[in-house]
Structure 1
């Protein structure tokens, strides 16, 4: 149970930190190789791009978890509390539906890539591993949006009883 709680609290932070280290390390190595040794790496740009893709998709769930997802709440804050709670829950439900749809829609696309023999040009990594970031990122976003919906619904129902 401790492991699940730790993963719930810190999974995205550690994955995103690791991906940032990979991007920075590979780019620093590329700069050193190019300007000090006058010889660039053929795979550095591709590795950084794929790490960036993974970090962009994983960060969606983290943004939802930390309440940093982009939204305009000026109108919502002006509403009375019961209506504000309703609008917040409807917004959360919309986010759940949107990322749930993307999660489901990403599966056939990734399956097609997995069945192909396409590999990346420089790294020779099967492209299915790169596209897998879409499924994982959208699923994680859906999971975090469900958690947010549950927490906000619990908060709004608890405040309404007071």
Structure 2
């Protein structure tokens, strides 16, 4: 059961890796086909763009899981005690509300406003299948934002920003290892 739970908890990471490898492989194939065989495969570019868009949306959800989205937080450091945590959680409630509203709008658009004649130019597949990334990714993002705050506020887990610089760790390293890490 823990393997399944681990897989589900890291689904965005696996999807992003797969999408990245696929669209880079497709673009490499297109470059080889054009440069060596002087032949272009028409559907590769369109599919690569679609996969890149899916990659970006799943990457945004993955960033939400890591609590690594860009945000202005300098003013939160001036709040006493746990005030910053609660103000950030309150602000993220608006983010969750926006995500859920966008899920509603995207489902409305995909299933009620798009018609079956809207197709990808070279692939010939209905566009609604490509637009499904919107409700999927925004649902995942809303879930991940809520999950981060549940882990922080209820379970007391400190989720570290992966881009944050640990000054104490830098002081213990030698100057050569710091310059090679950058």
Q: 2:125 maps to which residue?
A: 125
Give the TM-score taking structure 1 as reference length: 0.88
Q: 1:65 maps to which residue?
A: 65
Please state whether the residue corresponding to 1:48 is helix, strand or coil: helix
Contact 2:67 2:145 in 1 (8 A): no
Q: 1:55 maps to which residue?
A: 55
Contact 1:114 1:128 in 2 (8 A): yes
Contact 1:89 1:152 in 2 (8 A): no
The CA deviation string for residues 69-102 of structure 1, in whole angstroms up to 9 with x for no partner, is 1111111122212321221211221221111111
Contact 2:77 2:84 in 1 (8 A): yes
In angstroms, what is the RMSD of aligned CA positions?
1.7
Shift of 1:4: 4.3
Matched, 1:45 2:45: yes
Report 1:26-41 matches (<5 A).
26-41=26-41
Q: 2:90 maps to which residue?
A: 90
Distance 1:78 1:155 in 2: 24
After TM superposition, where is structure 1 displaced by more than 6 Å over at least 4 residues in a row?
none
Report 1:74-153 matches (<5 A).
74-112=74-112, 115-153=115-153
Which residues of structure 1 form unaligned runs of 5+? 157-162
Distance 1:20 1:12 in 2: 12
Give the TM-score taking structure 2 as reference length: 0.79
Distance 1:31 1:155 in 2: 50
Structure number with higher helix proportion: 1
Which residues of structure 2 form unaligned runs of 5+? 157-182
Q: How many residues are paired up?
A: 156
Structure 1 window deviating more from structure 2 (121-130 vs 27-36): it is: 121-130
